[in-house]
Amino acid sequence: MKRWLNLSLEELRSLMEEIGQPPHRANQIWTWVWTKFITDIQRMTDLPKKWRDELQNDLVLLPLRIIDSLEEEESVKLLFETLDGHHIEAVILKQDEATEESDDPKKRLTLCVSSQAGCPLGCVFCATGKLGFARNLEVDEILAQVILAEEFILQHPGLFGLSLTTPRKISNIVFMGMGEPFLNWENVQKAIRTLTHPKGYNLGYRHITISTAGIIEGIREFTQWNQPVRLAVSLHSPFRIGRERLMPIAKTNPLDDLMEALREYQDATGRRITFEYILIAGVNDRREDAEGLRKLLLPFKYLLNIIPYNPVEGIDLETPSQGRVKTFLLFLKEAGIHATLRKSRGRKIAAGCGQLGLLWKNREIRL
């Protein structure tokens, strides 16, 4: 079975020569896939018909298929099945906050993609962590989420009431879905190179965000890569013991060492870091947590996102009340910390932060 989306354009050109085709065949395939989102080889009409017929039963450009979708006002969750029967999810989000990249957020869509089937980290607040870990996703499985999301948007004109006139509808990609991107860094990195290729999807590096639970080795490799992809770090507690209780990976990637790696990253790149903080009632919403954040974040240029906990069936944690959220934001303000309260999207369809994975399992789809 040929899976050519695992290859870069340069690798695909070399392959064409190896199999006796002119190198420009790679450019033709690349154009169909990444500017028209066509993955059926028979629809690539500038390729020789005989060759298309030869490839028909042996070429797989899309190693995923959409088997279900759920939609609410500002988000759509897509369920994919891999060729070997695993299930992963991606989420299309309406982007209505102003950002550095656009003065017109009404024309923006963000796609949250997965990098692993399941997740090995076992964070106590996360539905995906309850699934356990199946395997890393291949490059083409990461990229197929983007292509299929683009196809879905094309099939649903006016999604979220937006008018999107450009061929590419997605304006931002965040690796915040199922799995830890830095534990599959080689494949994630190669997928990003394809997504940013100027002759293909042509998404700017700054429109891509990697979200990590704090894998120190991955952050250091990311620093050395030195591309302007944005970095988001799941923090959730300013204290070592508190963070280890919420995120077992913090025991082998200790908070002090993590912050040192992030200082090295910021010294080398000069880029701001986004810190994600899931606010859990009675766990990390105290005044001392706000003061701990002040001390921890003092050396950094940062954005701090406060995300009220999204409930997950079977996890004994609670979402803070609106009053408690306001009180914590006041604690932060008094500590001199600027924070953004993130709007909860996808909660009704279990597409919010920490919720991916279990809804369809409860519908008897094996995950």
For 28-42, 79-93, 95-109, 162-176, which range has the lowest pLDDT when averaged over its residues?
A: 95-109
Active-site residue identified among 71, 89, 138, 180? 89
* Amino acid at position 203, single letter: L
Confirm if 104 and 125 have CB atoms less than 8 A apart.
Answer: no
Percent of the chain past pLDDT 90, that is, above it, reads 77
In this model, does residue 351 exceed pLDDT 80?
no
In this model, does residue 355 exceed pLDDT 70?
no
- The residues near 329 (Cβ < 8 Å, ≥ 6 apart) are 306, 339, 341
Active-site residue identified among 72, 276, 353, 364? 353
* Amino acid at position 87, single letter: H
Does 112 participate in catalysis according to the annotation?
Answer: no
Over residues 177-228, the pLDDT tens digits come to 999 999 999 999 999 999 999 988 999 999 999 999 999 999 999 999 999 9
Between 313 and 278, where is the model more confident? Answer: 278
- pLDDT at position 363: 53
Percent of the chain past pLDDT 70, that is, above it, reads 90
Does 89 participate in catalysis according to the annotation?
Answer: yes
Token code pair at residue 282:
């009675």
- The residues near 286 (Cβ < 8 Å, ≥ 6 apart) are 331
How much is the pTM? 0.92
Greatest pairwise CA separation for the chain in angstroms: 71
In this model, does residue 89 exceed pLDDT 80?
yes
- pLDDT at position 96: 56
**88 phi and psi, to 5 degrees?**
-135, 165
The CATH code of domain 4-55 reads: 1.10.150.530
Per DSSP (E only), the strands in the chain are 64-72, 75-82, 87-94, 109-112, 116-118, 133-136, 172-175, 208-212, 230-234, 273-279, 302-308, 340-341
Question: Which residue ranges make up each domain of the chain?
Answer: 4-55, 64-361
SS (H, E, C) 173-189: EEECCCCCHHHHHHHHH
- pLDDT at position 35: 92
What is the rounded CA–CA span in Å between residue 61 and residue 12?
13
Between 148 and 344, where is the model more confident? Answer: 148
Classify domain 64-361 at the CATH superfamily level. Answer: Aldolase class I (3.20.20.70)
- pLDDT at position 344: 66
For tokens 């609410």, the residue is 72
Taken in order 140, 146, 147, 151, the sign of the CA dihedral is positive
* Amino acid at position 33, single letter: V
Token code pair at residue 331:
């604690």
Over residues 255-305, the pLDDT tens digits come to 999 999 999 999 999 999 999 999 999 999 999 999 999 999 999 999 999
What is the rounded CA–CA span in Å between residue 221 and residue 305?
24
